[in-house]
């Protein structure tokens, strides 16, 4: 009898949790965590390209120390600002992470502009390979971020809508911070990584492969 009663209690509890959206909330929470891991992975991929990129540029542009310092500082900052699944719900942590990555993007843009003054650099095979890798990485970052944005939107709707909002409240689940509206608009398209290889403004851009 005791075993039957226990089984019945567990069965009713399971059906109740399923019906009130608990399982859905858990599945969506795991999905957002997985999507965030991919965002971090692609940002790390970009950060890993920076040392070789700087070293290649520096061989031809030794006098651009201000740019090199800016890139180094930005890379150090992105390395120090990390978000784990435990801190993913902290809006301040998200804001700091966004700011650090934006600083890295800005620093890389300045580094790219340096190549305009050094034709030999633009012709360097290593530099061209790094350009192709960086282009591919920027595209991957855009895809990963947009997937995360959509997953967070789905999760947040579930947390806020009735009756799953009651379940979320009981289990202490709250909405997750997302990329800011301004940043979401900016990242809807991958940034152009142009090292000055195009012949003229009217020429068609070439797509490099090998990412």
User: How does pLDDT run along the chain (211 residues), one tens digit per residue?
Assistant: 554 444 334 334 443 545 578 999 999 999 999 999 999 999 999 999 999 999 999 999 988 999 999 999 999 999 999 888 778 889 999 999 999 999 999 999 999 888 888 999 989 999 999 989 999 999 999 999 999 999 999 999 999 999 999 999 999 999 999 987 554 444 444 444 443 443 333 333 333 334 3
* pTM of the full structure: 0.75
Question: CA angle, corner 42, sides to 99 and 149, nearest 5?
Answer: 65
Q: How many CA atoms lie within 13 A of 16 on its CB side?
A: 8
Distance separating alpha carbons of residues 139 and 153, to the nearest angstrom: 21
Rounded (10°) CA dihedral 104, 204, 130, 108: -20
Contacts 24+ apart (CB under 8 A), 122-131: 122/195, 122/196, 122/197, 124/56, 124/59, 124/60, 126/52, 126/56, 127/53, 127/56, 127/57, 127/195, 128/195, 128/197, 128/208, 129/210, 130/49, 130/52, 130/53, 130/56, 131/193, 131/195, 131/197, 131/208
Query: Rounded CA gap, 153 and 209, in Å?
Result: 33
């Amino acid at each position: 009898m005791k075993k039957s009663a226990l089984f019945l209690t567990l069965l009713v509890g399971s059906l109740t949790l399923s019906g009130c959206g608990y399982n859905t909330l858990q599945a969506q929470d795991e999905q957002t965590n997985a999507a965030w891991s991919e965002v971090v992975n692609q940002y790390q991929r970009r950060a890993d390209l920076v040392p070789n990129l700087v070293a290649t540029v520096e061989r031809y542009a030794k006098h651009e120390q201000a740019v090199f310092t800016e890139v180094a500082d930005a890379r150090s900052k992105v390395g120090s600002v990390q978000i784990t699944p435990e801190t993913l719900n902290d809006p301040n942590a998200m804001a700091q992470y966004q700011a650090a990555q934006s600083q890295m993007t800005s620093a890389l843009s300045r580094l790219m502009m340096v190549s305009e003054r050094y034709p030999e650099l633009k012709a360097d095979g290593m530099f061209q390979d790094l350009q192709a890798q960086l282009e591919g990485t920027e595209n991957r970052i855009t895809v990963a971020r947009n997937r995360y944005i959509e997953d967070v939107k789905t999760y947040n709707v579930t947390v806020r809508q009735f009756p799953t909002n009651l379940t979320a409240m009981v289990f202490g689940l709250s909405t997750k911070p997302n990329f800011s509206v301004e940043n979401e608009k900016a990242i809807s398209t991958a940034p152009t990584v142009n090292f000055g290889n195009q012949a003229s403004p009217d020429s068609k851009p070439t797509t490099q492969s090998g990412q």
